[in-house]
């Protein structure tokens, strides 16, 4: 879900993520293909933190060819994080890149967050590789087989800092959904709706 932070111009997007780490909802508006502005709600499963923030996503590079598209995005946000009825401000910054054809998909995401006081820093990076087993044209149901590998070097819960998640992506028109199961035995369910 890291690779599509901006929609087409003058459109709204709802993105929802559920995985081993958190439940996350992101609503954003894209005035152009270069920027999107949105709000984020997060419920972190392991840390017990709840976050509310604002996020700005910016397309800093795009390369189009006849058969592919490559992008680099910068994502910055700030907000309030709450844990055990104590609130603190946080800021986060992420950079992500993707390259895709109609057959292959590759992405990388690097992100970090600083929250004053408790659990004050987090850092992770994630890569994804995908292949479409069949190719159909616009308006059809598209399917992707993907593998996602995350590295959380500061994983504070004694778990393996590397988590792999094989997943299926289904994509049709304005709707995209992903279903997977991670190596630390949690379901992944993500979806995006654009309107």
Residues in contact with another protein by CB under 8 A are: 4, 7-11, 32-33, 59, 62-69, 100-102, 133-143, 145, 166, 168, 171-174, 176, 179-181, 183, 185, 194
Q: State which residue, 45 or 136, has the beta carbon closest to another protein.
A: 136
Q: State which residue, 123 or 181, has the beta carbon closest to another protein.
A: 181
Greatest Cα pair distance in the chain: 53
Least gap, CB of 66 to another protein (angstroms):
5
Distance of CA 192 to the CA centre of its chain: 10
Give the CB-side neighbour count of residue 181, counting CA atoms within 13 A.
1
* Concatenated DSSP letters of 152-194: -TT-TTSS-SEEEEEEEEEEETTEEEEEEE-TTS-EEEEEEEE
The answer for residues whose C-beta is within 8 angstroms of residue 195's C-beta and 6 or more apart is: 11, 12, 13, 174
Least gap, CB of 95 to another protein (angstroms):
18
Least gap, CB of 83 to another protein (angstroms):
30
Least gap, CB of 21 to another protein (angstroms):
18
Q: State which residue, 73 or 90, has the beta carbon closest to another protein.
A: 73
Q: State which residue, 32 or 120, has the beta carbon closest to another protein.
A: 32
Least gap, CB of 194 to another protein (angstroms):
7
Least gap, CB of 48 to another protein (angstroms):
24
Coil, helix or strand at residue 54: strand
Q: State which residue, 89 or 166, has the beta carbon closest to another protein.
A: 166
Give a three-class secondary structure readout of 61-118. EEEECCCCEEEEEEEEEEEEEEECCEEEEEEEEEEEEEEECCCEEEEEEEEEEEECCC
Q: State which residue, 65 or 84, has the beta carbon closest to another protein.
A: 65
């Amino acid at each position: 879900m890291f690779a599509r932070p901006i929609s087409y111009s003058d459109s709204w997007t709802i993105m929802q993520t559920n995985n081993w780490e958190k439940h996350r909802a992101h609503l954003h508006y894209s005035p152009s293909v270069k920027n999107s502005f949105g709000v984020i709600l997060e419920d972190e499963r392991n840390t017990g933190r709840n976050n509310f923030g604002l996020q700005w996503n910016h397309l800093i590079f795009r390369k189009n060819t006849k058969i592919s598209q490559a992008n680099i995005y910068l994502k910055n946000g700030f907000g309030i994080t709450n844990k055990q009825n104590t609130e603190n401000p946080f800021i986060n910054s992420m950079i992500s890149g993707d390259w895709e054809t109609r057959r292959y998909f590759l992405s990388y995401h690097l992100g970090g967050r600083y929250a004053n006081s408790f659990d004050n820093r987090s850092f992770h990076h994630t890569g994804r590789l995908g292949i479409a087993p069949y190719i159909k044209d616009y308006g059809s149901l598209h399917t992707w087989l993907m593998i996602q590998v995350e590295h959380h070097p500061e994983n504070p819960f004694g778990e393996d800092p590397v988590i792999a998640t094989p997943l299926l992506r289904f994509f049709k028109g304005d709707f995209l959904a992903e279903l997977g199961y991670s190596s630390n035995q949690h379901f992944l369910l993500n979806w995006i709706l654009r309107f």
